Each structure stands twice: as structure tokens, then as C-alpha cells.
Chain A
């Protein structure tokens, strides 16, 4: 019999702790598939963020460390500079990357560090209970914007990909989504590309993945996927911003 679907080698045989319908699991799996396809499992060093994905190492079957909140790009810099032969990637949420770790991401990008960042933008802080993220869209209700995000009080949604695309040190930035199979395939292509870029020594590459957090969007899994497809993409257009 022909086996048509199996667990990537880079993925552990573990049951998930993520909420039903959460996007993190999909992104984890894509990363593992890409690592298998590029045959780099024995060279990869992953960095987990502080956020719901902190225990990514429970699913990833390769070397992984865990950085302080927002410091993934600094830790990645330290590793890659002394171990250029390894493939170093960081995984960050929107609170991790776009709030507390803004300085670290901008400067790692601006130095053109030859690292790969997978940025999961789910428009809320999942781990701490659904507070406003820098990427929360206007009028979106969160536990700290009970009346909806107000631009006067809370500022505007932060567009990380557009921002990073202005930096000459950046070699590649793309925004993708994972709300349906076609988009998941596109996301995989982008993620593969940013790993390949590192292998080819092209410098800093990042993929922003629009993801769903059904729990704190206050929607069912199905409704959350629709929200990303219809509302979030309006604010965060998909596409390649620098290459």
C-alpha cells in the first residue's frame, strides 16, 4: 500500500496542547516538512519564543532553545555568528516580535544577519489571555480593548513586513496566511524559500504568517478562519515585500 501522508521526521510523536483550530500547529508542521525536504534536520537550531509556542520543542525533533520574551533575534545572532554552518531559525509571535522585541528584530534585520524568522501574527496575545497586540486591528475587541481598539488611545496596527522591507539588510520578506489549503501551500513555499536563503547565505529573511487564535478572537475555529480570510487580510495584505 502506498503511504500518502505521514508525520515529518523532524516532528515528534506528541499530542498537541494548542487549542482546537489554532494556527501554531499548522506552522509547526510546515517548518518540519521544509526541514525534512531540505535535509537540514541535523544542522538546524530552532529558537522558541515566549508565547503560546514556547513549548515548540515538545513537537520539534531537532536542537531547540528558548529565548527570553522578544529576544529571539539576539539569541539567533549569537548562535549564527559562531556557528555559521548551522541553520538557525527563530519562531516569534506578534507580542514577542512586534512589541517587547521590536529593537531586537529591527537590528538583527538591519545587520542583515543570515538567519530565518517565522513570525506568527495572530492579532492577539494568546498566552496571557487575549490582550491587545501591536497587530490587533482597529475596532477589534480584546481583553484590554473591551470596546475595540481605538487608534487615539491604542495606536495603529503595526505592519511588520512593510516596516522591515525598508531595511537594506533584509534579503526577503513575505506575508502569507494559512486559512485554507491553497494558502497553506503558498505559506510552505515561502517558508521553504527563507530557509533556502539562509543556506545560500543571502542574509536576513522573514515570513509573516497570518494565523488564527480562535480562543481569543472569541470565535469557533471555522469562524476564526473566516475572520483571518476576510478581516485580517484587509489590514495585512499578502505578498512579497522585499526580495
Chain B
């Protein structure tokens, strides 16, 4: 049995990256993920890897672009404002089909916002915050052990599908400490993909000098008649395969729940306690936790909608994932939402209270009223 260690989430993630074979890290400081570059600056030289503190997030992601095109496993990390700056680079990684792992330990926004935990970059992460017709895999761990598993998986998926993969956490997950086994376990049961395996993937596309072979070009400019459309459609085929094979989620009390809470990451930890409390009171509540936010577990949710009467989405945002829940179940059942924003963290009591209120009222509503100034 592997010994358990006590580390903070950010350090666990960094070490898991090293375990996964990451040998290049570039980043720019921003709270609440500073433990990642600090850890990497110490660890990379020990394992013969490269650490660079870049002059900006834009530079960091482009350094990762350069490292990745030589075949090395490469990663960058940041938090919300910095991730906005990385979007250009992520789009280029997608366009050049380069693997890379990007970590976002989300904080409050918009703008400089604050440094409190948040889940308000869901749209940006799952819709492709950069330009163009591309996707990135987005994985959302909910515990430090899962950070280990999903970090290793991220590198595997990035290499396997030659694309950027984002690990979406938040300030709490990055800062909290929990005992973990630094040994990737199998990925949670209910997933359509394969078990974690750290495959040795042959990279026959890297740039390392054209000795003994034809020169190669890695680029995203496709000017020929119909060339970009053909390329984008090939990307779509890849994305369809990922939607088929790499969906991951967890269901709690899926068989007999009348109401299903839906949440991911840190919020799902709170919802888990809520569900257990409600169960003790004899109420048939369950929880659905997407682990892959893209590909979103649409089919699983749709199937659940045949048995479950109501869905209650909880997020640390004003409601972003809730759109995907509605789309997945094609609005066949009522979907309620409760969220806290700008650093607010929903408590168990709040969630239970809101759950009751919304069900009593029988509708889905927002409580914030905005009065537009007269012009």
C-alpha cells in the first residue's frame, strides 16, 4: 500500500503532474494557485525537467506550445484572470493539435474580482474561451485524491487526442489539505472511458530536426480552398469520439431519488453532505456529479430524467452549468438552481432551505432584481 501524505491541493496537482511525466512547466504567479509554480520550481530540476517563470500568462502558454511540439509533456497553471490571457494560446494549441494540460484554480470575477473560490469560469472552460471551432477536455476533481487521478488522466488524454485538456478546480480545492495516496487509482467507476493507464504514446509528429526524415510543419493557418473546413470537420470527428469514450461522472442514489442535486468540484462536496442529511430525514434525494465537464455527461443525465422528478443545480456562480443540465434533459423535468457568486460558498443549510423554498413555490426563479438606469 502506498503511504498517505498530507499536502495542499495545488502541490498534489503539481506532484501528480510530475508522476504523469510532465517535464515542462511555465506559469505566471496568481492567487490561489501559487503553490503550483513554487512546487514546480523545486521539483522540475530534480527530475530533469524545465521550470520557467514567464513574463505573462500569454508567454507561459506559448512556452508550453513550444515545449509540447517537441513531444515533451507540458503544463501551465493559473487562475481566472490569467486563464483569460491564455485563451489565445489554447486556441492555437487546438488548431495545431498539440497536447497540453492547463490548470485553472478559479477565483471570483469578472475583472480582477477577488481571490475567493468560485466556479464562474464554467462557460469559458466548456465553450472554448478562445476563438474558433474547437473544444478542450475539461475535468473537474472534487477531492485531492481525485486531483491525482485526473491530473494523470489529463496528460494521457491530451496525448491520446492531441489537444489541450483543462483541469478546472477552485481556490478551496487548491488550498485545502487532505491525506492522499500519490498513486493514481482507477478513475471513478461510472465512466465510459478506459481505466487510467499512462500509455506510451508514439508521437510521430514532433519537431526535433529533420534528421533522417522529411521536414515537418506544425501550423494552424489553412488558406487553401476548403482546407480549414475539412480540417475543422476532422476535429469534430475527434470530438465526437471523445464524447463517446471519455464521459465521466458519479451518481449518488440514482435508483430511487425523487430530486437530484447536480454539482461539481467543491460544491459537490457540500451537496454530498446535503444529500446524506436529507436521506437521514427519509427524503429521496440524490446527487449527480459531472467529472468531465466537457464532454458533459448528457446521456447519463437524460436517462436519469426518466426516473427523477426534479433537478436542483448548485454552483458557485450565477448559473452556468445549469444550462448544460437543461440541454441534457431537454427541459423534460423542472430544473431549479441555487448559486452563490463572488466568493460566496453555499452552506448545507442554505441549500436545504432553498431546495425547500423552490420546490414549494413550484417554479424556477431568480431572486436578484436589476433595475436598468434610464438613459
A residues neighboring B (CB under 8 Å): 41-45, 48, 54-55, 57, 60-68, 71, 74-83, 86-87, 103-104, 106-107
Contacts and interface: CB of A to CB of B under 8 A. Distances in A.
B215 A63 contact: yes
A45 B71 CA distance: 13
Contacts of B218: 64-66
Interface in B16-70: 23-24, 26, 50, 52, 54-56, 58-60, 62-70
A42 B210 contact: yes
B204 to A, nearest CB: 13
A82 B70 contact: yes
A219 B21 CA distance: 55
B361 interface: no
**9 tightest Cβ-Cβ pairs between the two chains A and B:** A78-B66, A74-B62, A42-B211, A78-B63, A66-B219, A75-B66, A107-B55, A78-B67, A71-B62
A81 B54 CA distance: 13
Contacts of A106: 55
Interface string B202-239: 00000111111001111111010000000000000000
B72 A82 contact: yes
A74 B210 contact: no
B63 to A, nearest CB: 4
Most central of A62, A67, A81, A86 by chain B CB within 10 Å:
A81
Given A48-B219, A107-B59, 7 more contacts: A62-B210, A63-B216, A66-B217, A68-B92, A78-B24, A79-B69, A81-B63
Given A45-B209, A78-B66, A104-B62, A66 B23 contact: no
B221 A104 contact: no
Interface of B: 23-24, 26, 50, 52, 54-56, 58-60, 62-70, 72, 74, 88-89, 92, 96, 207-212, 215-221, 223
Contacts of B63: 74-75, 77-78, 81
5 contacts: A65-B207, A78-B64, A78-B66, A81-B24, A82-B24
Contacts of A81: 24, 50, 52, 63, 67
Given A75-B62, A104-B59, A64 B50 contact: no
A204 to B, nearest CB: 14
A72 B28 CA distance: 18
B77 to A, nearest CB: 15
A79 B56 CA distance: 18
B221 A55 contact: yes
A44 B216 CA distance: 11
Contacts of B68: 78
B74 A78 contact: yes
B3 to A, nearest CB: 32
A107 B217 CA distance: 26
B58 A63 contact: no
Nearest to A113: B52
Given A74-B59, A107-B55, A79 B217 contact: no
Contact of B89 (A41, A66, A68, A76): A68
Nearest to A88: B66
A77 B59 CA distance: 10
A200 B42 CA distance: 29
Contacts of A75: 62-63, 65-66, 69
Contacts of A42: 209-212
A71 B96 CA distance: 15
Contacts of A86: 70, 208-209
Most central of B60, B70, B72, B223 by chain A CB within 10 Å:
B70
B165 to A, nearest CB: 18
B129 to A, nearest CB: 15
B210 A77 contact: no
B92 A74 contact: no
Contacts of A80: 66
Contacts of B212: 42
A107 B216 CA distance: 28
Contacts of B69: 65, 75, 78-79
Nearest to B92: A68
A206 B89 CA distance: 25
Contact of A71 (B58, B208, B211): B58
A43 to B, nearest CB: 4
B221 A66 contact: yes
Given A66-B220, A68-B62, A82 B67 contact: yes
B132 to A, nearest CB: 12
Given A42-B209, A44-B209, A81-B67, A68 B88 contact: yes
A52 B89 CA distance: 21
A65 to B, nearest CB: 4
Nearest to A84: B50
Contacts of A107: 54-55, 59
Given A57-B217, A66-B218, A41 B210 contact: yes
Contacts of B221: 54-55, 66
B217 A64 contact: yes
A106 B59 CA distance: 12
B120 to A, nearest CB: 26
Contact of B207 (A48, A60, A63): A63
A179 to B, nearest CB: 30
Contacts of A41: 210
A78 B25 CA distance: 9
Most central of A57, A79, A80 by chain B CB within 10 Å:
A79
Contacts of A71: 58-59, 62, 65, 89
A75 B218 CA distance: 12
A75 B216 CA distance: 16
Contacts of B219: 48, 57, 64-66
